[in-house]
Structure 1
């Protein structure tokens, strides 16, 4: 079946065996009215959305490695244009990675839309609370996906209803600020998710919680320019979420679901992490750490030698070491990022780096074994830049620094080979524009 701008595949899983969260068998092209007939199938549909998030075209590889190429943090085994063009910020409109992320994003969104549309119509749930939970999980995952899309492309089509073979695929792009409004609306409902989950640990591990929604809200508000709301949600997560920074930075990835992991995608032998399988010291290695990344760290930074795994003078991406089998989890949101969001937003609102903003910035550096200059040595602008640079190092190879630096314009001087604000966002895939004549193109790629 032809893939349009929005895939009509309903990708769900069977819960005939609930022994493991990722013990999933895909069921393709099942009509939603036939599939959403009981609460087990409804839950299976929700868990299927998590599975879609783990695709090689999403957090299983592309959603991490593409922005890392754009930031200049990684290199490929070969100098293929489809990779190199990200580094030079001269991406072609037919770039396959851009097209794959776009298509996978709408596959996730459509699966979430099916849950959000169909589950409220079901009347055979044993508990209304569980019914509401499934809808809110889908809203969280839809919000996360649209957040990544608006950061990657700016204006994108906002679709909140399921698509079918009879849907109109000639949908225009929606202004970014309207997309942000929908993201926030979804997340403000998702904050009513459970704080944690009872019952079978394996099936509940990695599911969105109320504090995952609050953490994502803090981040979304930071990008939307609402520092007061970013502070509000970040402080709530820090003070009430129950998350704790780990002492050993590397243990965040060597061990699953650390005490500072707020939302973490779960991989196992049945659902492997493609990026882990091709970024380690094996004959299958395709992706490597850029040589310049090593020198970004201070010599005594305890994060450096874990983040960059050096063997035989070759620098590898170090955060995905569980590769045999490739069961490496992906922490999507961590407490340390929330510390730095809080520090930046509070400094802006206070018009000063003194006090709490500095203290939360210093907490991250303390864990890294670094000495931090006295708070009075910064002014407001230099402090905010320092926070962003710290976030770049803390979240290296997690697919975040490119978006963070384009958010404030720091990418122009510290990342881009071809500095241009118009190239902060990627081209709309040409294949999608040929199918949908109502899709415009971002100005740098016209």
Structure 2
């Protein structure tokens, strides 16, 4: 099977005409040589739109990038209990696991599409302003940063590829070694720092929906700095996003039942033309392949309003309740939303202050207040117990959103609360064996050697 480092084409939109009233109008995606494609503003915007589209594939946020971390966290099950899924829950992933390869391949496909925009758009000579050029480049940098963040959380050291590949790229140039994790993070932060210059909103709501914005870049920066242990920067960026004016949506289910809710910071757009593969297979239909584990129900306190929406009990099963727009499967996917930023700020600021008192406690409590559950008094927490409480709250708040596994691995909470076989070396997935056979410069993570 060819994988993305060898699948060297630019993903762009074939149609040269699109509606300016809807940034994410669905048009066919094709593969066109870069030098033939980047000719004017319309073609550049189509190329940017194609990068967003690439995130929606079934091998990325359209299914795998949500589902696989949820298997690792022990939250979901497959109707047939196929080993390729069960192995994630058992922390015993084979080096030839197809889902590991799928996510890896999809990641580098999106990165290559972003690299093409970043490399080609600044040199365009057609009808396009410098301001638009910079906007498109910064949108591509946001997506590249997001994908590399997921890569480094999943595999640690990974190849850092910042130049586009095409049919003329030599085999030798594609033999890329793994780049140290710290260097990947440096590059992610540089991309997001540039992306933080994006507009807060675009010319219309239709143009803004599904698009990277200044707040999306700052929210992701806050999250990246949290994973790096730079809590001052994490708290600072989280607070900037919080202070921008958006708040929690009062009705928790409306985050998914209403597209682009006021809480959504970055949300992928699906519709009847570009449907959501995960919604198709996670709801009570004949196509259902994945269910929630019964144990998830017990994680929630009695009276927690999130529980009966997050878990959709029908036909004597708990279905994955957040992706209910399945007929047709037009369910959007909120990738970053405000409640996560509240909880990131609560943890980061508590670490900076060496205390949960004040704002850290208030933002933690705000998330629980919306869920209609009582929060213990602030003076009942010390710093460590508060951080653990925040992480557990994040697990419940973001259930079935592909986040809890990474967050628990970040602080070693996965060892005691998720892993069947506690082993910190197995926080990371194996480098796909197919990739290693093609590229002899790729090493393997310690647990899989």
TM bucket by the smaller chain? Answer: over 0.9
Measure how far apart 1:202 and its partner are.
3.3
Q: Please give the TM-score of this superposition, normalised by the length of structure 1.
A: 0.98
| 2:188 is the counterpart of 1:183 | yes
| Counterpart in the other structure of 2:10 | 10
| Counterpart in the other structure of 2:435 | 432
For 1:32-47, list aligned pairs within 5 A.
Answer: 32-47=34-49
Counterparts of 2:4 and 2:399 in 1: how far apart (Å)? 34
For 1:93-132, list aligned pairs within 5 A.
Answer: 93-132=95-134
| 2:207 is the counterpart of 1:206 | no
Q: Is the 8 A contact 1:22 1:271 kept in 2?
A: no
| Counterpart in the other structure of 2:258 | 255
| Counterpart in the other structure of 2:446 | 443
For 1:380-391, list aligned pairs within 5 A.
Answer: 380-391=383-394
| 2:227 is the counterpart of 1:223 | yes
- Residue correspondences, number: 443
| Counterpart in the other structure of 2:359 | 356
Counterparts of 2:379 and 2:183 in 1: how far apart (Å)? 40
Residue segments in structure 2 that go unaligned for 5+ positions in a row? none
Q: Is the 8 A contact 1:147 1:183 kept in 2?
A: yes
Q: Please give the TM-score of this superposition, normalised by the length of structure 2.
A: 0.97
Measure how far apart 1:126 and its partner are.
3.7
SS in 2 for 1:336: helix
| Counterpart in the other structure of 1:368 | 371
1:198-237 residue CA offsets vs partner (Å, 9 max, x unmatched)? 14x4344210000100000000000011000001100000
Q: Is the 8 A contact 1:4 1:435 kept in 2?
A: no
Counterparts of 1:3 and 1:344 in 2: how far apart (Å)? 38
Counterparts of 1:203 and 1:346 in 2: how far apart (Å)? 34
| Counterpart in the other structure of 2:75 | 73
Measure how far apart 1:6 and its partner are.
5.0
Of residues 266, 269, 278, the one that matches 2:269 is 266
Q: Is the 8 A contact 1:4 1:169 kept in 2?
A: no
Runs of 4+ in 1 over 4 A off after TM superposition: none
User: CA-atom RMSD, angstroms?
Assistant: 1.2
| Counterpart in the other structure of 2:161 | 159
Counterparts of 1:126 and 1:443 in 2: how far apart (Å)? 49
| 2:201 is the counterpart of 1:196 | yes
Q: Is the 8 A contact 2:3 2:435 kept in 1?
A: no
SS in 2 for 1:331: strand
Measure how far apart 1:124 and its partner are.
2.5
SS in 2 for 1:333: strand
Q: Is the 8 A contact 2:40 2:128 kept in 1?
A: no
1:308-357 residue CA offsets vs partner (Å, 9 max, x unmatched)? 00013210000000000000000000000000000000111111111111
1:412-436 residue CA offsets vs partner (Å, 9 max, x unmatched)? 0000001100000100000000000
1:280-301 residue CA offsets vs partner (Å, 9 max, x unmatched)? 0111100100110000000110
Counterparts of 2:210 and 2:5 in 1: how far apart (Å)? 29
Please, which moves more after superposition, 5-14 or 54-63?
5-14
Q: Is the 8 A contact 1:150 1:176 kept in 2?
A: yes
Counterparts of 1:51 and 1:252 in 2: how far apart (Å)? 21
1:262-295 residue CA offsets vs partner (Å, 9 max, x unmatched)? 0000001111100000000111100100110000
1:398-421 residue CA offsets vs partner (Å, 9 max, x unmatched)? 000000000000000000001100
Of residues 54, 57, 82, the one that matches 1:55 is 57
SS in 2 for 1:16: coil
Counterparts of 1:392 and 1:7 in 2: how far apart (Å)? 36
SS in 2 for 1:319: coil
| Counterpart in the other structure of 1:147 | 149
Measure how far apart 1:22 and its partner are.
3.7
Counterparts of 1:11 and 1:275 in 2: how far apart (Å)? 22
Please, which moves more after superposition, 117-126 or 67-76?
117-126
Q: Is the 8 A contact 1:6 1:107 kept in 2?
A: no
Q: Is the 8 A contact 2:10 2:166 kept in 1?
A: no
Of residues 17, 21, 26, the one that matches 1:23 is 26
| Counterpart in the other structure of 1:345 | 348
Q: Is the 8 A contact 2:305 2:371 kept in 1?
A: yes
Residue segments in structure 1 that go unaligned for 5+ positions in a row? none
Counterparts of 2:214 and 2:127 in 1: how far apart (Å)? 22
Q: Is the 8 A contact 2:313 2:319 kept in 1?
A: yes
